[in-house]
A = this chain, B = another copy of it.
């Protein structure tokens, strides 16, 4: 018979994280109970509190780590001088990164309102940093007349909104390959910001 007690600190922590990630993404933070999370991990609810001070921290850490991973991955990319190259890279990076982490992305967009004010401020700052990196590409391209957008801030938000739409419908193994999806979106983004 499987033991029901004992020490598993090194595996339980990650499993709690995984379970919370999946459940929050599927049902929403507010609709998920600590007991559900515990059930998925295979421990009792009380045991979760050896790993997190409370439910809010579980959400916050998922979101913060996701945003930090996103920024770190983006900032490691090759730097292009040509804004068109940089934009193409951004589009490809954004689509691939987000499709690899659908649950994290979903949570990052849907659960902002369930963060405490302090936590919200911190996540917003990270999100803002990412948006700014796209806006600076558009601004440089605008100054060199390679791009033609009425408003770089709005164009930034419009491009990101458009790209985020991918995760609502893309399924790997579907009609289009990842390369094709990337190509289709790059085509639309390029045309939208060009004269």
Contact = CB atoms under 8 A, between A and B. Distances in A.
A191 B150 CA distance: 13
A113 interface: yes
B184 A151 contact: yes
Contacts of A151: 176, 184
Contacts of A150: 183-184, 187
B149 A157 contact: no
Given A188-B149, A188-B155, A188-B193, A165 B161 contact: yes
Interface stretch (A11-19, A22-30, A41-49): A22-30
A14 to B, nearest CB: 25
Q: Which secondary structure dominates chain A's binding surface?
A: helix
A101 B155 CA distance: 23
A188 B162 CA distance: 11
A77 interface: no
Given A158-B165, A191-B194, 18 more contacts: A29-B30, A30-B31, A150-B184, A151-B176, A151-B184, A157-B165, A158-B162, A158-B185, A158-B188, A159-B162, A160-B165, A161-B161, A161-B162, A162-B162, A162-B165, A189-B192, A191-B191, A191-B192
